Amino acid sequence: MELKDALMLTGPVLGIETSCDDTAAAVLDAEGVVLAEIVLSQERAHAPFGGVVPEIAARAHLAHLPILLAGVMDRAGLGYGDLGGIAASAGPGLIGGLIVGSGVAKGIAIARGLPYVAVNHLEAHALTARLPGLVPGGAPFPYLLLLISGGHCQCVAVRGVGAHERLGGTLDDAAGEAFDKVAKLLGLPWPGGSALERVALLGDAARFAFPRPLLGRVGCDFSFSGLKTAVAQLVARYPVGALPARDAADIAASFQRAVAEVLADRATHAMKIFAMRHQGRRLLVVAGGVAANATIRAALEQAAAAEKFALAAAPPRLCTDNAVMVAWAGIERLRLGLVDGFDFAPRPRWPLESLATP
């Protein structure tokens, strides 16, 4: 990371997201207004395997990204020479996809003489709340972040760009990972999280008393492995392939309620910790793919209200992987004069708390 004396942001910013199985690009103007965005899902390619296959994902990014970029630039009515910078997810994530997106971004930046920003995918989620219009009056630092996705589950005090303090995290499975695994146990199609939520709408959430791991414990760590195992043991009682649809719906609803209650409890503990350390700051931001779940949002809204915190949750399309958040993270960094060298190597692991600004 380099710190430039002069403000680096001189025009719209192009964002590229290829950290997992969605190929995405977006262009935001210097104030953060979305000029164009495109997300290409790879669900059909991975569905037969019941999960993301890294090699397939990387090859799909390589095949589709050039066309996708041409499309988003056309929709924005811009040429690459009109840009003020380019940002790309550089980690954490699947290394093949990260290499593709970062490589393309660097190539454009070199060819057009543009500043390049290697965006931490988790920080992109963390900064989404600061997009214009998302939080009334804006989202000033610091605020509390609950990041819940397929690969991550953590509570973070966001003190500024590149300044993040981890308050707690998962001890085993992430919430989204647990959703996907339980969906697979129930014979639901991939991606499991959204499929399970749809089935749960038809079920009785009070029928099965699944455990609530770490509920009421000190701190704000998470654990979902035991909950997932409890569901597996229940499903194992049925003959293979003979789980009644009604029972599957009740299991889905009961599991979803258990996760929602655990997340609300852990977030409550995090809010208490945050409020003690940051007097007068009471904003809880929830981000990541699992934040799109309506039951979980409702539980977090109740928990936030009880602690007198405002809750900010991005629209569902900005909860899952997208390039709008990547471009915005680039804008945030470029405004501070922060750019990266073209020798920056993508990182499959890149903890939020390891970020720093010069």
Q: What is the pLDDT of residues 11-27, one digit of tens each?
A: 999 999 999 999 999 99
**Cβ neighbour number for residue 43 with a 10 Å cutoff:** 13
**For residues 351 and 314, what is the distance between their CA atoms, to the nearest angstrom?**
22
In a domain, 138, yes or no: no
Read off the pLDDT of each residue in 248-253 and give the average, rounded to a whole number: 98
Instruction: Give me the domain span that covers residue 344.
Output: 2-129+320-354
Alpha helices per DSSP H over 87-191: 95-112, 121-127, 175-185
Amino acid at 278: H
Any residues with CB less than 8 A from the CB of 239 and at least 6 apart, and which? none
pLDDT digit string, tens, across residues 179-236: 999 999 999 998 899 999 999 999 999 999 999 999 999 999 999 999 999 999 999 9
In a domain, 82, yes or no: yes
Question: Above 90 in pLDDT, residue 152?
Answer: no
Whether residue 38 contacts residue 110, with contact meaning beta carbons closer than 8 Å, is answered with no
* DSSP calls for 103-116: HHHHHHHHHHT--E
Q: Do 309 and 324 belong together in one domain?
A: no
Q: Do 93 and 174 belong together in one domain?
A: no
Q: Do 94 and 240 belong together in one domain?
A: no
Question: Closest by alpha carbon to 30, among 271, 334, 298?
Answer: 334
In a domain, 113, yes or no: yes
Q: Do 207 and 265 belong together in one domain?
A: yes
In a domain, 104, yes or no: yes
Q: Do 253 and 161 belong together in one domain?
A: yes
Q: Do 77 and 113 belong together in one domain?
A: yes
pLDDT at position 353 is: 87
Q: Do 201 and 295 belong together in one domain?
A: yes
Q: Do 15 and 98 belong together in one domain?
A: yes
Number of domains in the chain: 2
Reading the block at residue 17, the tokens are 């997201």
Q: Do 208 and 349 belong together in one domain?
A: no
Q: Do 201 and 82 belong together in one domain?
A: no
**For residues 237 and 239, what is the distance between their CA atoms, to the nearest angstrom?**
7
In this structure, what CATH number is given to the domain that contains residue 119?
3.30.420.40
**Cβ neighbour number for residue 189 with a 10 Å cutoff:** 12
3-state secondary structure of 72: helix
Read off the pLDDT of each residue in 64-90 and give the average, rounded to a whole number: 97
In a domain, 134, yes or no: no
In a domain, 279, yes or no: yes
In a domain, 135, yes or no: no
Q: With cut-offs at 50, 70 and 90, classify the pLDDT of residue 6.
A: very low
Q: Do 171 and 56 belong together in one domain?
A: no
Q: Do 120 and 15 belong together in one domain?
A: yes
